[in-house]
Structures are given as C-alpha cells and as structure tokens.
Amino acid sequence: MQALDTEDNLALSSSRFIPRLPAGAPTVSVVVPTLNEAANLAHVFAVIPADVHEILVVDGHSTDDTVAMARMLRPDVRIVLQNGKGKGNALACGFAASTGEIIVMMDADGSTNPREIPAFVQTLMDGADFAKGTRFGHGGGSSDITWHRDLGNKVLNGIVNVLFGTEYTDLCYGYNAFWARCLKHMQIDCDGFEVETLMNVRIARSGMKIQEVGSHELERMYGESKLHPTRDGLRVLRTILSERMRAQPEPCDISWRPEYRELHRNDIPGHLALATA
C-alpha cells in the first residue's frame, strides 16, 4: 500500500491527530455505506473520533474483505447488510439501524474527512437541525471533483434553489449530519446517488433549520467511484422534478424504515446467520 503524501490524506496513525467530539456532545452514530472498500477503511477509521457512540458499516454485499477489515479495525463496529442496491438504500438501512441522537453520513473511499465530524456536531449543538456539508461555501473545497461534475452540480443546485427557495451552495455532496428526529421528515425511499438531493429537498420543505458546513473533499484513495455522472445526474433531475410535483409528506416515525439485516459478531460473510432487525 503506497505511502500518503499529506496529513489530510487520513492515514496518520499518531493519536494526536485523532479528533474528539465537542465537550458535552450527545451520542453520535457514524453511517458508512460500503461496496468493496476494504483498501480504504484503514485510512478512514484511523481518524474517526474515538468517542463516537457507534460506527455502522452498511455493506452492499462486498466481494472483498470489507466486512473483515472493518471488524479488525474496530471490533465494536456494527455491520448492517442493505436489503437492496444503491447508496440511497444503503443509507436508509444504516439510518434505520442507528441508535445515536446525532447521525453523521460519510463515504468510505477517503474523500470525506472524518476530522471534520466535530465541526458538523458542533453546528448541530449550536442550534441547527441539519448540518449540510458544502465544498463550495465558506471553508469548503475539493481535490477530486471534475469540471463536468462541478458544472452539473451547479446547474442542479440552481434548479433546487429556484424551485424550493433554498440557498444551497452544494446540492450533491454526501457529507452531512443531522439530529435523528430529522429522519421522519426525510422518509428515504430512493436507491441511488440522488439520495442527497432527496434529503436536502425534503428537509428544506419541512422547515427545519439547515446550516451549511464547509468541507474539503479529498481524492478517492483506492478503487473506482460508483458514480456515473450522466446517469446519476439525470436521476437527480428526475428527483427534483418529482419532489416539486409532490405534496409535502406528513412526518412519520417508522413507516419509512426499511427492514435491514445486521451481522452478529461471529457471523462470517459467505456463511451468514442473519438476524432481521
């Protein structure tokens, strides 16, 4: 495995670089959807604050050692198997399994920096309901986004701001944190990368307080992205238009929650004794 060039690439092992949550922070669940991300998990897990309540790896039936690696790195990790396909379904399963008062969603490829988790949590503690990561607002940046993804994001972001009266600077970024009470307003019922758009639109329509948090997106460390800009961009656009036509859903407590399966500590991928939660 190649050496890392800068401390921002997450692989530093010294404990002095591991952040802590703000003093008095409530319980925090970190939800990490994965699909064949074994090579990246060590770099991500190394700098997740040690005092988070739980880490949930939501696995999309990886064929590599993602589950074994997660357990080796963090013996108390919870492994949730998504019951469908796609990032949206994975996050819905992870959110349903979470028990923390605050939920942080982040990627497993090293592009979202766990050192920023305390800033997201502090934003919520300061009064926001939803802390929305942004690469293009104050304090944000990206080492990874291509010009055509940047352009597509700006166009879609502008459409949402016009149609829903929002002031978002970054629509499609997957690094967000929110109080668990927000889940009843999101009611996640999509499968793919349009999930961030769905969440952002429904939270905005709910009237809950949204605060953007500057975040620097890093390059994916190993493996290939599952994002297909054209296909997924069209899915985002369809989601925006569908939500514009849709009546504001009433908040619900449990009806949105998908069934999910969680691996017990002694379960071995490939010969699984699965429990339906």
Q: Quick check: 243 pLDDT over 70?
A: yes
Rounded Cα gap, residues 199 and 148, in angstroms:
23
Q: Quick check: 273 pLDDT over 50?
A: no
Rounded Cα gap, residues 256 and 36, in angstroms:
27
**Is residue 272 within 8 Å of 264, Cβ to Cβ?**
no
| CA atoms 154, 155, 157, 161: torsion sign | positive
Q: How confident is the model at residue 228 (pLDDT cuts 50, 70, 90)?
A: low
Q: Could you tell me which of 23, 4, 22 has the C-alpha nearest to residue 14?
A: 4
Rounded Cα gap, residues 48 and 112, in angstroms:
11
Q: Quick check: 6 pLDDT over 50?
A: no
Rounded Cα gap, residues 152 and 230, in angstroms:
9
Q: How confident is the model at residue 3 (pLDDT cuts 50, 70, 90)?
A: very low
Which phi and psi angles does 103 have, rounded to 5°? -120, 130
Collapsing DSSP states into helix, strand and coil, what is residue 130? Answer: strand
Q: Could you tell me which of 28, 84, 79, 87 has the C-alpha nearest to residue 58?
A: 79
What would the pLDDT profile of 92-102 be if each residue is shown by its tens digit? 999 999 999 99
Rounded Cα gap, residues 115 and 8, in angstroms:
9
* 8-state DSSP, 263: E
Residue 7 is predicted with a pLDDT of 43
What would the pLDDT profile of 112-143 be if each residue is shown by its tens digit? 999 999 999 999 999 999 999 999 988 888 88
Residue 15 is predicted with a pLDDT of 43
Residue 226 is predicted with a pLDDT of 61
Greatest Cα pair distance in the chain: 51
Rg of the chain, C-alpha, whole Å:
18
Collapsing DSSP states into helix, strand and coil, what is residue 91? Answer: helix
Which amino acid, one-letter code, is at 235? Answer: R
What would the pLDDT profile of 42-70 be if each residue is shown by its tens digit? 999 999 999 999 999 999 999 999 999 99
Rounded Cα gap, residues 28 and 101, in angstroms:
6
Residue 13 is predicted with a pLDDT of 43
Classify domain 25-247 by CATH number.
Answer: 3.90.550.10
Q: Could you tell me which of 87, 59, 30, 61 has the C-alpha nearest to residue 226?
A: 87
Q: How confident is the model at residue 16 (pLDDT cuts 50, 70, 90)?
A: low
**Is residue 58 within 8 Å of 239, Cβ to Cβ?**
no
Q: How confident is the model at residue 271 (pLDDT cuts 50, 70, 90)?
A: very low
Q: Quick check: 10 pLDDT over 80?
A: no
What's the pTM? Answer: 0.87
Q: Quick check: 227 pLDDT over 70?
A: no
A 10 A CB-CB count for 173 gives: 26
Mean pLDDT of 220-235: 68
Q: Quick check: 2 pLDDT over 80?
A: no
Instruction: State percent of the chain over pLDDT 90.
Output: 68
